[in-house]
Amino acid sequence: MLNKIIILQALFFFFVLSSTAQEIPKLMEMEHEMTEVWEPEVKVITPGDKYGDAPSDAIVLFDGTNLDEWVNENDSLPQWPVKKGVVTVVKRGKGIKGPALIKTKRKFGSVQLHIEWRTPAKVHGESQKRGNSGVIFCDGQYEVQILDSYNNRTYKNGQAASIYKQYAPLVNASKGPGEWQTFDIIFKAPHFKEDGSYLVPPVFTVLHNGVLVQHAVKLRGPCVFIGMPEYQIKKHGKGSIILQNHGKPVSYRNIWVRELTL
């Protein structure tokens, strides 16, 4: 008897829902205006004249004239030389005492970053010992690797445009030693739970020389040389963008950033 009641109830609801579904189009005739959003208007900016030029809402971090936007890791004045519109890594011992990497004075969360870089034309070493540097976000947490990866085999999650030790690039888009290369990086900063674990993990999209090489990859934790990233997550906020010093004379130019709300 119970089974018959359940079947009858199911049939009843089926017929009710079927008849209701047929009536919906008559009750809700859609007009095109109902899906048009007019306010608030989209913010207007002026794009650069050509690829690589900073748009009007960008913060220019290096325009080839000075390092006013940068400091050493101990907050002293940076000692990397600026010549002919280019700044070049100088390793410790060559006029530099103490900390040798440089970082932005400003703190950033989610950003779009454009940066142009060049590894030395004269090749020395192989694997990780050739033209090694990096662009690092949030005070040293998350790194996009810079390396001379032109005819230079290394571990693939450590080559140029890798998210260091986590994601190899989709392709190797490297130019040859001594040639200028570009990174266009979209970085989405993480959000944290109360316990310090990720609520939303950090996410990277990277174009290397205009080629998509990282597509919305979600990080497991910070980029570390030794160990598993999951076990080294530490809750953090905005942080400096760092240019790494591995003692290789990697050069940089035309660096700008746009702050994003993601």
Residue 9 pLDDT more than 70? no
Q: Which residue has the higher pLDDT, 107 or 7?
A: 107
Burial of 251 (0-12, 13-18, 19+ CB in 10 A): buried
DSSP sequence for 68-117: TTEEETTSSPP---EETTEEE---TTSS--S---EEESS-BSSEEEEEEE
Task: Give the pLDDT of residue 235.
Answer: 95
Please report the pLDDT score of residue 97 as a whole number. Answer: 57
Query: What was the pLDDT predicted at 262?
Result: 79
- Give the per-residue pLDDT at 13: 54
Angstrom distance (rounded) from CA 166 to CA 219: 7
pLDDT for 237 equals 96
Rounded to an integer, the average pLDDT of 161-169 is 98
- The pLDDT tens digits of the residues spanning 49-78 come to 999 999 999 999 999 999 999 998 888 889
Query: What does the pLDDT read at residue 125?
Result: 87
pLDDT for res 16: 52
Mean pLDDT, rounded, for 122-138: 92
Shortest CA distance to 103 belongs to which of 247, 255, 231, 227?
255
| Model confidence band, residue 29 (pLDDT cutoffs 50, 70, 90) | confident
Average pLDDT over residues 238-250: 93
Instruction: Read off the pLDDT of each residue in 241-250 and give the average, rounded to a whole number.
Output: 92
